[in-house]
Structure 1
Amino acid sequence: MASLIIIVAMFVLLWILLIRPQRTRQQKQQQMLSSIDVGDEILTVGGLYGIVQEIDEEEDLVVEIAEGIQVRIARRAVGTVVKPDEDEDDEVVGDADAVEDELVTVPEGDASLEATQKRMS
């Protein structure tokens, strides 16, 4: 009887630690794949970034990986949907004026490492 309890306890532990988290990951992946739409930026499992241009009748994606270059990929080859970082865009726009004020034109003769270190100190 004790060995049966140990076997059942091991199965429950295995289910909690391995099977349940794997199912959760699979469900999230399926949900992400089904939510892909035209205009989304994606990253494939092969490491290519691209923007979804259209979804064809076979549910494959036509993705633009460079200007004028489109490839057809299987939906299951998508690793993730890349979310735009709106916060970083705002910071760059806000700091652009400050950066322009700080730019310094250095004569070619003073562009050496030693001359730069002297100017910085």
Structure 2
Amino acid sequence: MSIGILLPLILIVGVMFMMTRSQKTKQRQALEMRNKMEPGTGVRTIGGMYAVVKEVNDETVLLEITDGVHAHFAKSAIGTVLSEEDFNRIVHGIEPEEPAEDGAEAAAEDTEPADGVADADEAHDGTEEHISLDKSGAAAEQDDSAAQDEPVKEPNGSASK
């Protein structure tokens, strides 16, 4: 056999070996992740649903989707086991608190901005302005203004304003 035939064959075998090895590594990591699930852990299913683990069985898990709503899922349907901080940030919108490293940063957070508005909620005086998404009123105003700008055609063909 010549080297021209042998080299591509060795290359193909090497690529196949590397692909199966990385796939086995990913499968092992997924199995470890699913095995570390315990009641109270936040998870995301492969369908994108977030839930809390209530019970772990051999091949299934019982998930609480919302208060009082439970569903059984196969362990293989769990896409990610989330940390408590990530679960609270994604599901509840609670950002994790970062401790201030020195007193200067804490003092800077307590001061009011230069424009005199400390917080958007404080600046809001409680009155709510409702914006209409109805286009009929806007279209009528646009038609009226367009009618004022366009010259009116007379029956004899001349234009007057």
Does 2:96 correspond to 1:89? Answer: yes
Partner residue of 2:62? 62
What code does the residue aligned with 1:69 have? V
Residue identity over aligned pairs, in percent, reads 25
**Equivalents in 1 of 2:39, 2:111: separation in Å?**
37
1:22 aligns with 2:23: yes
- Per-residue deviation at 1:107? 6.1
Instruction: Using structure 1 for the length normalisation, give the TM-score.
Output: 0.69
Q: 3-state DSSP class of the match of 2:9?
A: helix
Flag the structure with higher helix content. 1
Query: Could you say what secondary structure the match of 1:46 adopts?
Result: coil
Larger RCO (CA within 8 A; separation ≥ 6): 1
Q: How does 1:30-109 map to 2 (within 5 A)?
A: 30-56=31-57, 58-85=58-85, 88-91=95-98, 101-102=118-119, 103-106=122-125, 108=127
Bigger Rg over Cα = 2
Give the C-alpha shift of residue 106 in structure 1.
2.4
Structure 1: runs of 5 or more not aligned: 114-121
Aligned length: 106
d(CA) in 2 for partners of 1:5 and 1:70?
57
RMSD over equivalenced CA pairs, Å: 3.2
TM-score scaled to structure 2, two decimals? 0.54
